[in-house]
Amino acid sequence: MNKPTQQPTKKTFWSKLSTNTLVRFLLFAACGWVLVKVFWYFQNVVFIFTFATILALILNYPLRYLERFLRRGFALGTVIAISLLIIIILFVFIGNILATQLQQLAGLILQIISSANNPINQLQNALVARNIEINLEAIETQIRRWVVSGMNMILGFLPNLLESYVGFIIIIVVAFFMLTDGEKIWQLILKMIPHNRRDRFATAIQKNLIGFLQGQLLISLILSIATFLVFTVFHVPFPFLLAITVGVFDLVPGIGATLGVSLVSLIILVQSGWIVSVKALIACIALQQIQDNFIAPRVMQSTVRLNPLVVFFALLVGTQIAGLLGVFLSIPIAGVIVSLLEIEELQAN
């Protein structure tokens, strides 16, 4: 009579734990701490090369397309010339429009919030007319403080932005060199990876980091154009500036679009009243749902798919480590780590 075969018992986490594992974990944590310190020491250098890399990735698409018809040298020269022209136009004309509209919007909001007929007072009068005794004076004072501090911060940021002109030029130059020798740099990076892990590393970077950044930029551009058209139809003042605000916030995965729509709705409430604000809010929510349920799944289907808890954890850690840059890069970097370590439990279903 045959004895029943025993099923192999699955090892628990604690049974796998050993001194060797603990030593590796401590070394990994120490290396991470050192990398954070090195990052803050070379913060400006990291920022320049990061944004230059993103710009080079964007320009790589037209370069590949032109290489079908032209030699690489001519295609590269054409892309560089056209991109320089576009960047100058964006910086001079669109940047000037944004700065002008931002100053006008700041003055208008400060004027409205300081007037006796601001939305808070309108709500207070409506409540009094219905015999609802609620004092909103403290809320009005706090909102006024927030608006003043926010406008001062934004207006103070504009001179700093103009002072970073040299850094902007360096980013463009570095991006063009990356575009020229990007393949050589990539092969150099792969040589630092063990031979048996190069394919997995290359796939993880291409899928999670590069694919995510390109997809997120495309989604944010689509949402910016859609919100600009909606604001124009509703005759919202400063539609271009508000649409750009929604698009920039949408670059933050997970909660960015919600934050952008909420902020823009409050601005519209102050400058245009309750009715226009509610209309714009409903339209923006509808556009956000279309983006999240129809556009984003198709654009991002081959990129990082993380559990929502991992997304928020990565955002908080990235913000703590690298500030604004960490907000934009935390999700793709987390996707690369999860993909390399093959942690299926942290991936989205």
What's the confidence (pLDDT) of residue 90? 74
Length of the chain: 349
Contact 255, 267 (CB under 8 A): no
The reported pLDDT for the residue numbered 154 is 58
Quick: pLDDT tens for 63-89. Answer: 888 888 888 788 888 888 888 888 777
**Average pLDDT value for residue range 12-41:** 73
249/318 same-domain check = yes
User: Which contacts qualify for 163-168: CB closer than 8 Å, 24 or more apart?
Assistant: 167/44, 167/47, 167/48, 168/91
Whether 25 is in a domain gets the answer: no
If asked whether residues 306 and 333 sit together in one domain, one would say yes
Report residue 145's pLDDT band, with 50, 70 and 90 as the boundaries.
confident
The model's pLDDT over 284-307, given as tens digits with 9 standing for 90+, comes to 889 888 887 787 777 765 566 677
Cα of first residue to Cα of last residue in the chain, in angstroms, is 45
* Residue of 239, 208, 215, 211 whose CA lies nearest to 347: 208
Q: Rounded distance, CA 191 to CA 212, Å?
A: 24
The total number of structural domains in the chain stands at 2
Q: Which residues, 6+ apart, have CB-to-CB distance to 332 below 8 Å?
A: 208, 209, 212, 213, 304
Phi, psi of 266 (to 5 degrees): -65, -40
Clarify whether residues 154 and 77 are in a common domain.
yes
Q: Using CA atoms, how far apart are residues 114 and 231, in angstroms rounded to an integer? A: 25
Same domain, 313 and 239: yes
Residue 82: per-residue pLDDT: 84
Single pTM value for the model? 0.67
Residue 114 domain boundaries:
45-192
Same-domain pairing of 287 and 183: no
- 228 & 336 share domain: yes
Tell me if 6 is assigned to some domain: no
| pLDDT computed for residue 344 by the predictor | 66
Residue type, 252: V
Q: What is the DSSP string of 159-228?
A: HHHHHTHHHHHHHHHHHHHHHHHHHHHHHHHHHTS-GGGHHHHHHHIIIIIIHHHHHHHHHHHHHHHHHH
**131-145, 151-165, 237-251, 252-266: least confident range:** 151-165
Q: Are the CB atoms for 86 and 55 separated by under 8 Å?
A: no
Within this chain, do residues 169 and 235 fall inside the same structural domain, yes or no? no
In angstroms, what CA-CA distances link 179 with 64, 174, 184, 185, 201? 11, 9, 10, 10, 21
- Bridge partners (DSSP) of residue 306 are 347
Question: Do residues 180 and 217 share a domain?
Answer: no
Specify if 337 maps to a domain.
yes
Q: Among 151, 173, 192, which residue terminates a domain?
A: 192
Q: Quickly tell me which residue has 């927030």 as its tokens.
A: 146
pLDDT at position 12 over 60: no
Q: Are 291 and 279 in contact (CB under 8 A)?
A: no
Q: Is 3 within a domain?
A: no
Domain boundary, last residue among 136, 166, 192: 192
Please check whether residues 182 and 315 belong to one and the same domain.
Answer: no
> In this structure, are 244 and 309 located in the same domain?
yes
The pLDDT of 15-24, averaged and rounded, is 68
Shared domain check, 211 and 114: no
**Is 11 part of any domain?**
no
Whole-number percent of the chain with pLDDT over 90:
1
- 179 located within any domain: yes
Amino acid in the structure at residue 306? L
Count of other CB atoms within 10 angstroms of residue 63: 20
* Domain assignment of residue 31, yes or no: no
Classify residue 19: in a domain, yes or no: no
- Per-residue confidence band for 320, with pLDDT thresholds at 50, 70 and 90: confident
**139 and 257 fall within a common domain:** no
Domain final position from 128, 163, 192: 192
